[in-house]
């Protein structure tokens, strides 16, 4: 009886815990050069994983009203971030990439 009640309590509380994961595929549009990468954004955990052909990279994630900002938090309070990639949430376009030249438009789609 105790095990059954414990299981019911765990199921009830786990239904309140929701972690949103957003899976994005980002690539250049109308380009001769094929460039793409995938992003897995954990909005609750504030973590992002970028997957490319060369491997995976884990980074921090800050969600603002306008952007998904992916990079490195500067302190434990997780308020300021050094962005490496900024994706506009409305247009799903990469508007800033620290280590890439944005000569061509990079768009992301939810998959």
pLDDT tops 70 at residue 8: no
Give the per-residue pLDDT at 17. 47
Give the per-residue pLDDT at 89. 94
Give the side-chain half-sphere CA count within 13 A for 67: 15
Hey, how many other C-beta atoms are within 10 angstroms of the C-beta on 4?
Answer: 8
pLDDT tops 80 at residue 99: no
Q: β-strands 106-110, 21-28: how paired?
A: antiparallel
Q: H-type helices in the chain, by residue range?
A: 2-16
Q: Quick one: 67 exposed, middle or buried, by C-beta within 10 A (0-12, 13-18, 19+)?
A: middle
As a whole number, the mean pLDDT across the chain is 81
Question: How sure is the predictor about 59, in pLDDT bands with cuts at 50, 70 and 90?
Answer: very high
pTM listed for this prediction: 0.75
Give the per-residue pLDDT at 1. 53
Per-residue pLDDT, averaged over 52-68, amounts to 91
Per-residue pLDDT, averaged over 79-84, amounts to 90
Per-residue pLDDT, averaged over 11-16, amounts to 45
């Amino acid at each position: 009886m105790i095990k059954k009640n414990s299981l019911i309590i765990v199921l009830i509380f786990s239904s309140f815990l929701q972690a949103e994961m957003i899976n994005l595929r980002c690539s250049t549009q109308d380009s001769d050069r094929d460039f793409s990468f995938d992003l897995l954004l954990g909005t609750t955990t504030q973590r992002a994983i970028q997957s490319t052909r060369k491997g995976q990279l884990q980074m921090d994630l800050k969600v603002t009203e306008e952007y998904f900002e992916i990079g490195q938090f500067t302190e434990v309070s997780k308020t300021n971030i050094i962005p490496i990639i900024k994706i506009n949430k409305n247009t799903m376009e990469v508007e800033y990439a620290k280590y890439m030249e944005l000569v061509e438009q990079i768009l992301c789609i939810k998959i």
